Amino acid sequence: MKLIEKNLVNLKKGDKGIVARVEQSAISQRLIEMGLVPGTHFEIRSISPFGDPIAIRLNDFAISLRLTDAKNIFVTEQ
C-alpha cells in the first residue's frame, strides 16, 4: 500500500498522522529542532477559524504553527 503525502494544512481537527518531510524554508531548521522530523507521530489539536494558526501535539507537547510555516510540512495520515 502506497502512502499518500498531504500538506499539513489539508488536515482537520482530530486528524492524526506522521511527518513525512519538511521542505526548506526560513524556519525549517527550527521546526526540525522542535521535533518535526520524518517519522514523528502527531495530532491536529485545533485550527483557528481562519486557519491560522494550527496547533499540533507531538512528543507530549503542543506547537502552534503559522499557516505559511505549516504549508512546508508534508505528512501521511494515520
Average pLDDT, the chain: 89
Residue tagged 502552534 (cell numbers): 64
Query: Which of the residues in the chain have pLDDT under 50?
Result: none
What H or E segment, with its residue span, contains residue 70? helix 67-70
Q: Starting at the earlier edge strand, list the strands of the sheet with 54-58.
A: 5-7, 73-77, 16-22, 41-47, 54-58, 61-65
- pTM score of the predicted model: 0.85
Beta bridge partners of 54: 47, 65
Tell me the percentage of the chain whose pLDDT exceeds 90.
54
Number of helices and strands in the chain (H, E): 2, 6
pLDDT score, position 55: 95
DSSP 4: P
**Chain centroid, CA 54 distance in Å:** 8
